[in-house]
Structure 1
Amino acid sequence: MSSHVLIAGAGPVGLVSALTLATAGIQVTVFERNTTAPEDLRASTFHPPTLDMLARFGLTDELVSQGLVARYTQQRDRKNGLVAEFDMSLLEGETQHPFRLQCEQWKLNKLLIDRLALFPHASIVLGAEVQSVSQDADSVEISVKTASGIQAFRGDYLIGSDGAWSAVRQSLGIDFEGFTYPERFLVVSTDFEFADHFPKLSYVNYVSDPQEWCVMLRVPSLWRVLFPTSPDESDEEVLTDDSIQNRLQNLLPRELPYSTIHRTLYKVHQRVAKEFRRGRVILAGDAAHINNPLGGMGMNGGVHDAFNLSDKLVEILTAGGSPDLLDRYERQRRAVAIEYINANTARNKKTIEERDPETRRKTQDELRAIAAHPSAAKDYLRKTSMIDALERAESIT
């Protein structure tokens, strides 16, 4: 009987894993609790190595055609404007895609779902919420809540890619170590063209300020602006029209009110699962590690998990590879989650919100100096684009 891998969650991590496995001839079933494919509006940045990986399936060119190629990223000051600009073309020779792609995450989901539909041994079950997990030496079984009741499914392995509140992780009793920031993050999408008013604005901008920093990201049809919110503000207060307008008007005053297309408020965490593997169950993506979005490393790191893990499962299930490869996955990706993804995103937040004037001045001077020297700028971009993190993972045996 052919091998069968179960996957909890039909986000990019679960779907990339499914496509990798299906391409190798392995039966795969993806369970998604939502009744439609997720259209998550949070992630919108694809880093160069992620684009390199997706090119394996011919997906990168399709994504690029639907997004914006961001050659430059900027560090800005809310009052003083541009601090430093980094040219990602310095990464030529390090990657096949020396740029960041600004493209909504749901577009990747759709491409992956369309591609999976070509494989008769791959299926996606919508409206199916994985609730609990059990396993023995030879298989894993999941309990799934569907419209017709609770059903059980059995497979050789289970990938838990069911998000930050992962039922798979919780069912196994795996600790999710770390902390939650007191403030929530507000993302507002508007069709107003900020680039007509901020000189030389790039598609990716980290704007520091001691009172209210922000991140300004361009996607094909909209600008997305991320603001921190005060723990003293209720969710209802943050999401009112007056509150949204005040934040946008403080960023750029104008006579007319801003039109907003989306507004999303969410809690932000820095957490890493104590274990990424328990027997035949393996965690990936947000189920294994979550971080603040400053740097765009969450979804990208999850996709990197998916390729690392699913390639190892292919070797185990089709080429007689040792299941111990899954322990190497845990060693590799957990180290990266702690040493690179969580460490860098936490540092990014600290930098952008710094209130001490002298520390702010020193940091901005350092950024200017790095951007002015190509070798230093390249090192900086290797780190921020996650190339260093992948090399670190590969070095772990």
Structure 2
Amino acid sequence: MTPVLVAGAGPVGLTAALALARRGVAVTVLEAGDALAAESRASTFHPPSLEMLAGLGVLDELMERGRISRTFQYRERRGGVIAELDLSLLSGDTPYPFRVQCEQGRLTPLLLAHLLEAGGEVRFGARVHDVLTHAGGVQVTTEDGVPYRGGWLVGADGAGSAVRRCAGLKFDGLTYPERFLVASTRTDVAALLPGIADVNYVFDPDEWLVLLRTPDHWRVLFPTPAGTPDADELARLPDRLRGVADTGWDVAHASLYRVHQRVADRFRTGRVLLAGDAAHVNNPLGGMGMNSGIHDAVLMADALAGVLAGGPESEVDAVAAARRDVALTYVGRATHANWERMRDPGLYHAELRALAADPGAARRHLLRSSMIASLRDVA
């Protein structure tokens, strides 16, 4: 019997597995796909995540592949910069007072390589079909009928989590009225909009947007009405992009998706834990989804390693409860507030300008937006 099974080989599942392996725990990851997922929605790594990845020995390689971003901007769609915030104000709070812009698809191969070197195991094509729990552990049966037995199971298998479904856990919340359309472009947005930061929240009462830079592309996020055909929305993307800057845009990829704000009613039931999107989903404004999942993974793995070394299971209960509190109190509220702010920007211009002019207030804001506060306060 493997001490810990992990469902899902995304950034959260592989982080949990590597954190366990680094603590000497045997771990097997069950991944539904035949290979690591190529889709990369998340692309921002906040300072606490960088600290955790440094502790796992993968940060240097990630930074070689990513782009360091020290500032971000709030902008007007038809104006200029409302406020620019500088993460160097956090230099006394973290050794990494910046964001790293890098698609999650560049992190997962690094995690996988380090996990295999540390003795971990990954089984691809192993989609979870059923989970049976008992006092001594769990049995996971995959769709092809293969049973896997473990002492514990970490469900990191995404928003449609089979682990959560099998555990009978609720996933209450809301679905946003609009879809999000994300386009990756090879067009040099910095040349079109001089002075733009790598990460930009662009306010407008009619059509707000987000512009952010990754190593190879700029990404543009637009809100898009519900109920219209995807093909129609993709067809009008060139006109929407010309509304940002009047030029021909070189679009590498574009996709539409629905956005939800949901949290599982528990993050632990028996020997099953939930982490990342399996436990909580939120809108992407602020870049907190993947980051909070990485925090789940590391903290839950540490607690599990402690239990397997003879510690009390109450440590796992405490971490699971704390991570659910973070999902509700910090991540959910912050990302929903970001959505409301983008839709009604006029109320916040003066507030943001005052924030940028006050280093103390700006630092307190950055502690929250960088997710440092979410870890400190719960701890």
TM-score past 0.5 threshold: yes
- CA distance, structure 1, for counterparts of residue 295 and residue 167 of structure 2: 23
**Partner residue, 1:365:** 350
Is residue 28 of structure 1 aligned with residue 27 of structure 2?
Answer: yes
Is residue 310 of structure 1 aligned with residue 305 of structure 2?
Answer: no
2:340 to 350, 362, 370: 350
Q: Secondary structure, in 3 states, of the residue corresponding to 1:76?
A: strand
**Partner residue, 2:130:** 132
Q: Is the alpha carbon distance of 1:179 and 1:362 closer, same or farther for their aligned partners in structure 2, counting shifts above 3 Å?
A: closer
- CA distance, structure 2, for counterparts of residue 185 and residue 38 of structure 1: 20
How many residues are paired up? 379
| Residue 181 of structure 1: how far off its partner (Å) | 0.8
Is residue 251 of structure 1 aligned with residue 244 of structure 2?
Answer: yes
What do the CA deviations read for 1:90-141 (whole angstroms, capped 9, x no partner)? 0001001000110111111011011012133x11111110112111110101
Structure 1 runs of 4+ with >4 Å offset: none
Q: Does the aligned pair in 1 maintain the 2:184–2:218 contact within 8 Å?
A: yes
Is residue 340 of structure 1 aligned with residue 342 of structure 2?
Answer: no
Q: Secondary structure, in 3 states, of the residue corresponding to 2:311?
A: coil
2:284 to 271, 293, 308: 293
Mean CA deviation greater in 207-216 or 231-240: 231-240
What do the CA deviations read for 1:285-328 (whole angstroms, capped 9, x no partner)? 0000000000000000000000110000010002x111121210
| Residue 352 of structure 1: how far off its partner (Å) | 0.6
- CA distance, structure 1, for counterparts of residue 270 and residue 227 of structure 2: 43
Q: Does the aligned pair in 1 maintain the 2:203–2:343 contact within 8 Å?
A: yes
- Report sequence identity in percent: 47
- CA distance, structure 2, for counterparts of residue 232 and residue 333 of structure 1: 34
After superposition, where does 1:1-397 map in structure 2 within 5 Å?
4-120=3-119, 122-145=120-143, 149-240=144-235, 243-254=236-247, 257-318=248-309, 320-354=310-344, 360-394=345-379
| Residue 58 of structure 1: how far off its partner (Å) | 2.2
| Residue 57 of structure 1: how far off its partner (Å) | 2.1
What do the CA deviations read for 1:229-284 (whole angstroms, capped 9, x no partner)? 011422222223xx110110111112xx3221111211100000001111000000
Letter of the aligned partner of 2:305 in structure 1?
Answer: V
- CA distance, structure 2, for counterparts of residue 236 and residue 334 of structure 1: 37
Letter of the aligned partner of 2:347 in structure 1?
Answer: K
- CA distance, structure 2, for counterparts of residue 95 and residue 207 of structure 1: 27
Q: Secondary structure, in 3 states, of the residue corresponding to 1:221?
A: coil
- CA distance, structure 2, for counterparts of residue 331 and residue 364 of structure 1: 36
Q: Does the aligned pair in 2 maintain the 1:178–1:269 contact within 8 Å?
A: yes
| Residue 185 of structure 1: how far off its partner (Å) | 0.5
- CA distance, structure 2, for counterparts of residue 197 and residue 235 of structure 1: 28
- CA distance, structure 2, for counterparts of residue 384 and residue 337 of structure 1: 14
Q: Secondary structure, in 3 states, of the residue corresponding to 1:79?
A: coil
Q: Secondary structure, in 3 states, of the residue corresponding to 1:263?
A: strand
| Residue 194 of structure 1: how far off its partner (Å) | 1.0
What do the CA deviations read for 1:332-389 (whole angstroms, capped 9, x no partner)? 10000000001000000000111xxxxx333111000001111011001001000010
Letter of the aligned partner of 1:153 in structure 2?
Answer: Y
- CA distance, structure 1, for counterparts of residue 364 and residue 245 of structure 2: 33
**Partner residue, 1:357:** none
- CA distance, structure 2, for counterparts of residue 82 and residue 88 of structure 1: 17
Q: Secondary structure, in 3 states, of the residue corresponding to 1:338?
A: helix
- CA distance, structure 2, for counterparts of residue 91 and residue 156 of structure 1: 40
Letter of the aligned partner of 2:259 in structure 1?
Answer: V
* CA RMSD, Structure 1 to Structure 2 (Å): 1.1
Name the TM-score, length of structure 1 as normaliser.
Answer: 0.94
| Residue 33 of structure 1: how far off its partner (Å) | 0.7
Q: Does the aligned pair in 1 maintain the 2:19–2:301 contact within 8 Å?
A: yes
- CA distance, structure 1, for counterparts of residue 166 and residue 354 of structure 2: 49
Q: Secondary structure, in 3 states, of the residue corresponding to 1:156?
A: strand
Letter of the aligned partner of 2:272 in structure 1?
Answer: V
- CA distance, structure 2, for counterparts of residue 288 and residue 232 of structure 1: 27
Q: Does the aligned pair in 1 maintain the 2:22–2:56 contact within 8 Å?
A: no
Gaps spanning 5+ residues in structure 2: where?
none
- CA distance, structure 1, for counterparts of residue 220 and residue 347 of structure 2: 26
Q: Does the aligned pair in 1 maintain the 2:307–2:313 contact within 8 Å?
A: yes
Letter of the aligned partner of 2:322 in structure 1?
Answer: Q
Q: Does the aligned pair in 1 maintain the 2:19–2:298 contact within 8 Å?
A: yes
Q: Does the aligned pair in 1 maintain the 2:31–2:122 contact within 8 Å?
A: yes
Q: Does the aligned pair in 2 maintain the 1:75–1:82 contact within 8 Å?
A: yes
Letter of the aligned partner of 1:34 in structure 2?
Answer: G
Q: Secondary structure, in 3 states, of the residue corresponding to 2:17?
A: helix
What do the CA deviations read for 1:20-71 (whole angstroms, capped 9, x no partner)? 1111221111011111111232000000110011111221121111111100
Q: Does the aligned pair in 2 maintain the 1:336–1:392 contact within 8 Å?
A: no
Mean CA deviation greater in 216-225 or 54-63: 54-63
